Structure 1
Amino acid sequence: MTLGAVETTPPDGELPSDHIADTAEAKQIEGRSLGQIAWARLKKDKIAMISAIVILLIIAMAIFAPLIVKISGFPPDQPNFKDSNGKDLLDTFNGGIPAGGLWGSGMSSEHWLGIEPQNGRDVFARLVYGARASLLVALGGTIVAVVLGTIVGMIAGYFRGWVDGVLGRVMDILLSFPTLLFILALTPVIADRAQATFGIPDNNGLRMGVLIFVLGFFGWAYLARIVRGQTLSIREREFVEAARSLGAGPGYVIFRQILPNLIPTLLVYSTLIIPTYITAEAALSFLGVGVKEPTSSWGRMISDASNWYEGNPLYLFFPGAMLFITVLAFNLLGDSVRDALDPRAGRS
C-alpha cells in the first residue's frame, strides 16, 4: 500500500467495482461463431434487411397465391368478358382490347391491374401465380446444382490424383458448353422422350421438372471448381489430420469435417445463383420452351405482352417489374451475405 492510500472494503454481499467491470468486459469479448458474427453484420446492413423482407414477401405471395387470388375473386385462367354489372370488358369491334382503364388496360376496382386482351384473364391473378413457376424452377435448379457441385467438388479435392483428373475434365467439358443453346435444344427433346418412354403427359409439371434438371445439370460445374479448391485447403488442416489419425474414413471426413466448413461458400453461391435461374426460366418461357399455357409465369407473361405492349406498355411493365425486383433483391442479399461471411470485410 502506498503512503496516503486508504483501503476500502465493500460491504458484505457486494462485489468490488473492478470485478464487475472485468465481468462486463469479459462478456463483451466473449467468443462468437462465424454465424453469429455474420448475423450481427447482416442486421446492421439496411440493404440486406430490405432485400430479405422483399424476398420473403415474394415467397409468401407464391405460397399463398390461391388465398390472395381468392380475395381478388378472379382465378388466373378464367376468361372475363363482363363485369359484375354485366358491362362488356372487351371491345370486340376493336380486336378484343380491354374497354376502359388506364391506357385501355381494363383496370378497375374489380381487376386491379387490368385484364389481358382477347381472353380477359386477370393480370393480377396471373402475376401472383407466375411467382410460383419462376421461384419453383429457380429454387429447384439451385438445389440440384448445389448438391451435385458440392459432392463432386469435395470428392475431387479430397481424393486428388486420377479421380481429380477425371472429374476436372468433366467440369471443363460442361463449362465449355453454350448452356443456353443446349437448354433450348434439350428441354423439348427430354420432355418428348419422357412422354414417349414413360407415358408422362406433356404438362407443365413435366416441363418444370425438365427445366430444373437441365438448369441444375449444366450449373453445378462452376460451384464444383470452387468447392474443389477449398477442399484442397481444408483437407490439410490439423482437425482433418487428427480425424484421419483416429481412424476416420473418407466419408466421415468429407461430410462431417470438410462440409461444415464449406457452408458459408454454399450460402453465398446459392443466393447469387437463384436470380440467374429466375431470369433463365423467364428467358426460356419467353422463347417457348418453358411453361406452357395456361400455367402462368413471369416469362410467359412477358412473351404474351410482346404482342400488346405497343398499345399498352403496362402489360410488359408489371411482369418485368416483378422480375427486376426479385432478381435485384436476391443479388443484393447475396452480396451482403458474402461480405458478412468474409472475416476480412470491414463494416462501418
Structure 2
Amino acid sequence: MTLGATEAQSPEGGLPSDHIAETAEAKQIEGRSLGQIAWARLKKDKLAIASACIIILIIAVAIFAPLIVKISGFGPNEFNQTDASGKSLLDTANGGFPNSGLWGSGMSKEHWLGIEPQTGRDIFARLVYGTRTSLLVALGGTVLAVLIGTVVGMVAGYFRGWVDTLLGRLMDIMLSFPSLLLIMALTPVVADRAKDMFGVEDTNALRMGVLMFVLGFFGWAYLARIVRGQTLSIREREFVDAARSLGAGPAYVIFKQILPNLLPTLLVYTTLLIPSYITAEAGLSFLGVGVKEPTASWGKMISDASNWYEVDPLYLFFPGLALFFVVLAFNLLGDSVRDALDPRAGRS
C-alpha cells in the first residue's frame, strides 16, 4: 500500500516525516522547571556571576588558609620584630609603629600587606585566617537559624489552630527581644560557663561555637514568619489535598510536599542572612565580645586598627575592604537569586 503525500515516509524508511517534524518541534517548546529558568537567568547576570566568583574565592581562601599562609612565609600569630637582614621593622622609640613601607604600613616584598604596630604580626596572614572566623560563625549561625525557622514555620502554618497561635506568640516574643544587647550580654557568660562545665581549653573555639548558637537562636523568628505564610498558601494546593486523600501523614506532607516548594524562599533568605551574620561577628569582635587574642578576626583587626589609623591607615583599610567586598558579594548574589526565582519576572 502506498502512503499519501501527508504520510510520506522519511528517506530512511522509518517514521513519517511529519511525525518527525512534530517531535522535533515538541522538543523545542518543551517546558522548563523553575530551577532551569532561574539558572538560565543567573548565567546571563554578569553581576551575579562576579559575586559568585568572589564568594568562591573567599571560601577557597578560608579552606586553604594554612597553605596560603605557608606560601607567604609568616604565621598569623608570629611576632616579626626584624626583617631577613636583621633590620628592625618597628620604631620602638615612637610607639612601635612600622618604620617603613607605604604610609608607614610596613609593606614590603616579605610582608605583602604590612605588619601590625607593636606586635609586628603579618597583616596578610591574619586577614587570611580572619576569613575562617567570619565564615564559620556566619555559616554556623545561618544553618541553625534556617533549620529552626523552617521547622517552626512549617509546623505553625500546616497545623494552624492552637499550634499556630502558640508558635506565633513565640515568634512575637523572639522578635521583640533586643537581640544585639542579649548577644553582647550572653556570649561571654555562656562561654565562661561552658568552659567551666566541659573543661574546654580552647576558649576561642568555644566562643565561636557560642556565637554561632546565639546568632542562630535569636535569628530564626523572622524566617519562621515567612515560612508560615508560604505554608498556609501551599497547604491548600491540589497536590497537597491529593497526598492527604491517599493517606499521607502530616510528616510526609510537610517534608515531601511543602518543603520542596519552600526551597527557593529558603535559598534567597540564606544568601541574605550570611552577610548579616558576617557583619554581626565583626561588630561583636569589634566591641570585645567576640573572639579573643590570638585568634584572627576581621572585626578584632578593625577594632585594633582604630587606635592606629592616623599613623598607619592601611592597617584599618585592608580588613575593612575585605569585609566590605564579602558582604557586598553575598548581598548582590542574594538579590540576583531572588530576582531569578521570581515567577513574576519575564521568562524570555
Q: Scaled by the length of structure 1, what TM-score is found?
A: 0.94
Q: Is the 8 A contact 1:146 1:220 kept in 2?
A: yes
Q: Give yes or no for the alignment of 1:294 onto 2:298.
A: no
Deviations 1:102-135 (A, max 9, x none): 0111100000000001110000000000000000
User: Shift of residue 199 of structure 1?
Assistant: 2.5
CA distance in 1, matches of 2:15, 2:249: 52
Match of 2:41 in 1: 41
CA distance in 1, matches of 2:316, 2:141: 26
Match of 1:215 in 2: 215
CA distance in 1, matches of 2:312, 2:346: 47
In the TM superposition, 1:43-122 aligns within 5 A as 43-122=43-122
Q: Is the 8 A contact 1:192 1:202 kept in 2?
A: no
CA distance in 2, matches of 1:347, 1:97: 58
SS of match in other structure, 2:81:
coil
In the TM superposition, 1:268-307 aligns within 5 A as 268-307=268-307
User: Shift of residue 24 of structure 1?
Assistant: 3.6
User: Shift of residue 285 of structure 1?
Assistant: 0.2
Distance 1:202 1:192, change over 3 A: farther
Amino acid at match of 1:325: F
CA distance in 2, matches of 1:211, 1:148: 16
Distance 1:76 1:211, change over 3 A: same
Amino acid at match of 2:264: P
Match of 1:251 in 2: 251
CA distance in 1, matches of 2:9, 2:37: 40
In the TM superposition, 1:134-213 aligns within 5 A as 134-201=134-201, 203-213=203-213
User: Shift of residue 25 of structure 1?
Assistant: 2.7
Amino acid at match of 1:290: G
SS of match in other structure, 1:274:
helix
Query: What is the RMSD computed on CA atoms of the aligned residues?
Result: 1.9
Structure 1: stretches of 5+ with no match in the other structure: none
SS of match in other structure, 1:219:
coil
Match of 2:329 in 1: 329
CA distance in 2, matches of 1:257, 1:332: 30
Report how many aligned residue pairs link the two structures.
344
User: Shift of residue 16 of structure 1?
Assistant: 7.3
* Between 68-77 and 18-27, the greater mean CA deviation after superposition: 18-27
Q: Scaled by the length of structure 2, what TM-score is found?
A: 0.94
Deviations 1:288-330 (A, max 9, x none): 0001000001101101101111112111110000000000000
Q: Give yes or no for the alignment of 1:341 onto 2:338.
A: no
CA distance in 2, matches of 1:67, 1:11: 63
Amino acid at match of 1:158: Y
Amino acid at match of 2:178: P
In the TM superposition, 1:5-20 aligns within 5 A as 11-13=11-13
Structure 2: stretches of 5+ with no match in the other structure: none
User: Shift of residue 15 of structure 1?
Assistant: 7.5
Amino acid at match of 1:115: I
In the TM superposition, 1:21-40 aligns within 5 A as 21-40=21-40
Distance 1:252 1:14, change over 3 A: closer
User: Shift of residue 197 of structure 1?
Assistant: 2.6
In the TM superposition, 1:310-325 aligns within 5 A as 310-325=310-325
Q: Is the 8 A contact 2:101 2:114 kept in 1?
A: yes
Amino acid at match of 2:225: R
CA distance in 2, matches of 1:242, 1:15: 39
User: Shift of residue 35 of structure 1?
Assistant: 1.1
User: Shift of residue 23 of structure 1?
Assistant: 3.6
Amino acid at match of 1:100: S
CA distance in 2, matches of 1:247, 1:9: 50
User: Shift of residue 76 of structure 1?
Assistant: 0.4
CA distance in 1, matches of 2:194, 2:200: 6
SS of match in other structure, 2:219:
helix
* Regions of 4+ moved over 3 Å: 7-24
Q: Is the 8 A contact 1:79 1:120 kept in 2?
A: yes
Deviations 1:177-196 (A, max 9, x none): 11111111111111122123
